[in-house]
């Protein structure tokens, strides 16, 4: 085994010397742009072509290799055109069946030909054993059996397994296989060298127990998992340390303004809110830019914390911006925060895409002049024509709804090369500890883990669609008691058009079913002003029953709404169900969330409904969601800014994750060149994705 490349790693940042130009193009579709990447492109499984089975001894339903002679070959047309080949050895015969074939295959499978066949034996017609579409190789006396197991790689259209195997073999002669971990680290963790690991996983010898190769908890996959987690932690630690290079606006809290603000509230801050507020105030009073993630369950009181953070920035002479993902949420936040802050003489403005050109120009002018001190808005906030006078704090609510570029575009409006805005990101989707360590390790994390006092727990009920009449009866009783109801329509095949049709149909059916109730509707295709008007009617008690799509998922706060019905709940994810459920239970009355489900449930849909039924705590729901789906969707379509993990599993590899987190600062401080090589091995130019 060669542990050193023929040329330095820096000279091989592409696929020179690997395959043909066509193969290199196809490899790039798989994210492989360097010889080094091929070493980290591991097989999905392995096939054993190192031994030959005699036909009589070959097990069924296992992949086996037989060496046989063609006894008969013919094209049949029943039930459709296919090539049927009978092969034999001295112990028996097998049928090979090809539903798609070419003339060159027919020529290779002529009677008398000696071939090796790799495939799965099954019992076919007339109790004859057969293989369907096996791999076939013509042989002669100079065809020795391979000495290693045959790797099977992920691929793309037009890229064959032999082409990938050849490319990997070439990469072993070019790419750097020297270790980026210190011997002491390998010893402490009980891990093998990098060279031994990639050799074992790409070309294992025939005497290796297949269980070793498949065992994700074994030492070889353990080495890969640790390496990947360490690379991720090194990048995040670099980002965390990079903040020290910048300064931020110095914002000290004004205790008099804060007392005035808190005195007007009709509630006391919880202990959790006071703790989190102190953490944010300390960050903003320092010269290092704040990068804090505030996570808290629905209804835990994040909005008032955002308002207090904005008050601290404004009191120090800076503007603050609060960006939210939807028009409805912007209207809710604006109404609530304006009510709190105008008492203190602070000007709050709202900037969204639904404003007229004249309204937008007026708000933009106030932002540019500094008259607007807090601006609540949607994506409109980061457009090029919006210029802030002195932006010092950016608050991003439901941060996973925004892409990295969108967040950076807004943050950049208050930053220059050395001076950076403070950032507070908020999420109502609680993040499990392992996920936070892995993907948000470059941020400081605060958690609102306490709900305001007086909240009555929400009861969740699972009800079959066949019992809709009982649900209608519950809705009628609730509205006659003077309380209000949400009726949420299902998400159908990710289609906004179909969802809209379903919402309109449901609205018509419910209007007929409840002629005496005031029934409203809100959906994504309505004009923003119309949506806002309906929501205001519902908030003010002018609508008894609101039919809605999932546009009401976040930010809607109507204390008098005590029942929510979610149609076809099995079609929704756990996070979405939990967010929707959080729209009720905001008043003093008991609330009920009714999940209507269809008759044909998949296993994963059944598991989701069981989890949401048994858990009301958002952190428990998030943990179960992580185990059910993995981190990708929870993070919001890779919008955390960090590349997704390919091999490590943050739940399975928690100990490696904690070790990587401990090891990264020391590695960067004492072995910076080795750390850079480790990062380059795993991410190369992709490191830039993490700079958020």
Please give the domain boundaries of the chain with CATH numbers for all domains.
Answer: 51-145 (2.40.50.140), 255-448 (3.40.50.300), 458-615 (3.40.50.300)
- What sign does the dihedral 659-664-665-667 (CA atoms) show? positive
Per-residue pLDDT, 169: 95
User: Which residues does 411 contact at the CB level (< 8 Å), separation at least 6?
Assistant: 394, 420, 421, 423
Query: Which of 633, 634, 546, 619 shows the shortest CA–CA distance to 583?
Result: 546
Query: What is the pLDDT, as a whole number, of residue 418?
Result: 66
Task: Label residue 639 by pLDDT band (50, 70, 90).
Answer: very low
pLDDT at 71: 96
pLDDT by residue (tens digit) across 578-623? 888 988 988 888 999 999 998 888 888 898 899 999 988 887 887 7
For residue range 211-264, list pLDDT tens digits in order. Answer: 778 888 889 999 999 999 999 999 888 888 888 888 999 999 999 999 999 999
pLDDT tens digits, one per residue of 45-56: 888 888 899 999
Report the pLDDT averaged over residues 318-324: 95
Over residues 651-664, the mean pLDDT reads 91
DSSP E strand boundaries for 297-414: 319-323, 348-351, 374-377, 391-397
Q: Give the confidence band of 630 by pLDDT, cuts at 50, 70, 90.
A: low
Contact yes or no for 631/637 (Cβ under 8 A): no
pLDDT at residue 277, rounded to an integer: 97
What global pTM score does this model have? 0.72
Report d(CA 73, CA 395) in Å as an integer. Answer: 72
Report residue 688's pLDDT band, with 50, 70 and 90 as the boundaries: very low
At 624 the pLDDT is: 81
CB 211 within 8 A of CB 78: no
Specify the 3-state DSSP secondary structure of 176: coil
Band the pLDDT of 199: cuts 50, 70, 90.
Answer: very high
- 409, pLDDT greater than 70: yes
Query: What confidence score (pLDDT) does residue 637 get?
Result: 39
**Measured between alpha carbons, how far is 46 from 204 in angstroms, rounded to an integer?**
9
What is the residue-averaged pLDDT of the chain? 87
Distances (CA, A) of 16 to 451, 599, 615: 59, 56, 54
CA dist 36 and 24 (Å) reads 13
**Helix runs in 209-346, H state only:** 210-214, 219-242, 255-264, 271-284, 302-315, 327-341
pLDDT at 626 over 80: no
Select the more confidently predicted residue: 339 or 243. Answer: 339
- Asked if the model's pLDDT at residue 208 lies above 90, the reply is no
- Helix, strand, or coil (residue 350): strand
3-state secondary structure of 548: strand
12-21, 180-189, 333-342, 563-572: least confident range: 12-21
Q: How large is the average pLDDT for residues 297-326?
A: 93
| Residue 403 in this model has a pLDDT that exceeds 70 | no
pLDDT of 640: 45
Q: In this predicted model, what pLDDT tens digit does every residue of 532-589 receive, in sequence order?
A: 889 889 989 999 999 988 766 555 678 899 999 999 898 888 888 888 898 898 888 8
Comparison of pLDDT for 604 and 321, the residue scoring more: 321
d(Cα 531, Cα 522) in Å, to the nearest integer?
Answer: 6
Is the CB of residue 659 less than 8 Å from the CB of residue 189?
yes
Judge whether residue 269 has pLDDT over 60.
yes
Q: What is the pLDDT of residues 76-122, one digit of tens each?
A: 987 788 999 999 999 999 999 999 898 999 999 999 999 999 999 99
Residue 38 pLDDT class (50, 70, 90 cuts) = very high
Q: What percent of the chain has pLDDT over 70?
A: 90
Give the C-alpha distances (Å, rounded to integers) separating 467 from 183, 536, 568: 65, 32, 13
Quote the CA–CA distance of 249 and 228 in Å, as a whole number: 36
Output Rg (C-alpha) for the chain, integer angstroms: 31
Query: Which range is most confident: 151-155, 193-197, 686-690?
Result: 193-197
pLDDT of residue 402: 67
pLDDT at 484: 96
Confidence category of residue 12, pLDDT binned at 50, 70, 90: very low
Q: In the predicted model, is pLDDT for residue 423 greater than 60?
A: yes
User: Confidence class of residue 629 from pLDDT cuts 50, 70 and 90?
Assistant: low
Q: Give mean pLDDT, residues 665-677.
A: 95
Confidence of residue 10 (pLDDT cuts 50, 70, 90): very low
DSSP 449-517: --PPTTPPPEEEEEEEGGGHHHHHHHHHHHHHTT-EEEEEPPP-TT-HHHHHHHHHHHHHHHHHH-TTS
pLDDT tens figures, 156-172:
999 999 999 999 999 99
Percent of the chain with pLDDT over 90: 54
What was the pLDDT predicted at 501?
Answer: 66
What integer pLDDT is reported at residue 315 of this predicted model?
95
Is the pLDDT reported for residue 294 higher than 50? yes
Q: Give dist(CA 532, CA 46) in Å, integer.
A: 58
Q: What is the mean pLDDT of residues 133-152?
A: 87
Whether the per-residue pLDDT at 337 is higher than 50: the answer is yes
Name the token pair of 641: 């800014």
């Amino acid at each position: 085994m060669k542990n050193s490349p023929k040329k330095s790693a820096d000279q091989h940042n592409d696929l020179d010397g690997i395959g043909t130009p066509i193969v290199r193009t196809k490899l790039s579709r798989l994210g492989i742009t360097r010889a080094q990447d091929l070493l980290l492109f591991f097989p999905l499984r392995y096939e054993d072509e190192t031994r030959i089975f005699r036909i009589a001894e070959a097990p069924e339903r296992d992949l086996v290799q037989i060496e046989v002679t063609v006894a008969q070959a013919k094209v049949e047309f029943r039930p459709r055109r296919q090539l049927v080949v009978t092969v034999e050895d001295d112990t028996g015969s097998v049928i090979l069946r090809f539903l798609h074939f070419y003339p060159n295959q027919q020529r290779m499978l002529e009677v008398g030909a000696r071939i090796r066949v790799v495939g799965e034996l099954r019992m076919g017609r007339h109790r004859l054993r057969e293989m369907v579409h096996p791999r076939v190789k013509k042989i002669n006396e100079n065809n020795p059996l391979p000495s290693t197991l045959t790797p099977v790689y992920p691929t793309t259209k037009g890229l064959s397994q032999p082409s990938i195997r050849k490319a990997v073999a070439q990469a072993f002669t070019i790419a750097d296989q020297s270790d980026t971990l210190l011997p002491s680290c390998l010893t402490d963790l009980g891990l093998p060298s990098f060279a031994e690991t990639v050799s074992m996983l790409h070309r294992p010898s025939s005497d290796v127990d297949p269980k070793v190769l498949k065992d994700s908890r074994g030492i070889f996959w353990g080495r890969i998992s640790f390496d990947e987690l360490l690379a991720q932690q090194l990048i995040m630690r670099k980002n965390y340390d990079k903040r020290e290079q910048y300064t931020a606006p110095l914002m000290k809290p004004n205790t008099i303004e804060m007392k005035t603000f808190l005195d007007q509230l009709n509630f006391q801050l919880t202990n959790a809110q006071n703790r989190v507020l102190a953490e944010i105030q300390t960050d903003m009073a320092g010269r290092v830019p704040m990068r804090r993630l505030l996570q808290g369950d629905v209804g835990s009181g994040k909005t008032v914390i955002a308002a207090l953070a904005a008050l601290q920035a404004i009191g120090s002479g800076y503007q603050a911006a609060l960006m939210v993902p939807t028009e409805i949420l912007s209207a809710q936040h604006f109404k609530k925060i304006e009510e709190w802050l105008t008492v203190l003489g602070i000007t709050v403005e709202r900037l969204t895409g639904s404003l007229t050109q004249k309204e937008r120009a007026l708000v933009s002018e106030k932002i540019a002049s500094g008259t607007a001190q807090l601006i609540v808005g949607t994506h409109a906030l980061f457009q090029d024509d919006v210029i802030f006078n002195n932006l010092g704090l950016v608050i991003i609510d439901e941060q996973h709804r925004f892409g990295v570029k969108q967040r950076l575009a807004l943050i950049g409006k208050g930053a220059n090369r050395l001076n950076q805005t403070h950032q507070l990101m908020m999420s109502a989707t609680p993040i499990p500890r392992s996920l936070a360590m892995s993907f948000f390790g470059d941020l400081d994390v605060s958690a609102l883990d306490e709900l305001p006092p007086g909240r009555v727990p929400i009861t969740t009920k699972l009800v079959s669609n066949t019992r809709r009449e009982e649900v209608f009866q519950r809705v009628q009783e609730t509205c006659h008691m003077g309380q209000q109801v949400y009726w949420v329509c299902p998400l159908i095949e990710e289609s906004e058009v179909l969802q809209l049709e379903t919402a309109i149909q449901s609205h018509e059916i419910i209007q007929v079913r409840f002629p005496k109730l005031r029934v409203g509707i809100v959906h994504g295709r309505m004009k923003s002003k119309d949506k806002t008007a309906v929501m205001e009617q519902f908030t003010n008690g002018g609508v008894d029953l609101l039919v809605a799509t999932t546009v009401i998922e976040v930010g809607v706060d109507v204390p008098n709404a005590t029942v929510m019905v979610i149609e076809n709940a099995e079609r929704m994810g756990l996070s979405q169900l939990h967010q929707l459920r959080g729209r009720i239970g905001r008043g003093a009355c008991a609330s009920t969330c009714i999940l209507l489900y269809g008759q044909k449930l998949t296993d994963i849909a059944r598991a989701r409904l069981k989890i949401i039924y048994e858990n009301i705590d958002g952190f428990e729901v998030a943990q179960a969601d992580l185990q059910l789906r993995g981190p990708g969707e929870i993070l919001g379509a890779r919008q955390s800014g960090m590349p997704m993990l390919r091999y490590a599993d943050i739940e399975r590899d928690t100990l490696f994750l904690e070790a990587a987190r401990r090891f990264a600062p020391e590695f960067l401080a004492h072995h910076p060149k080795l750390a850079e090589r480790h990062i380059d091995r795993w991410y190369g130019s992709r490191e830039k994705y993490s700079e958020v």
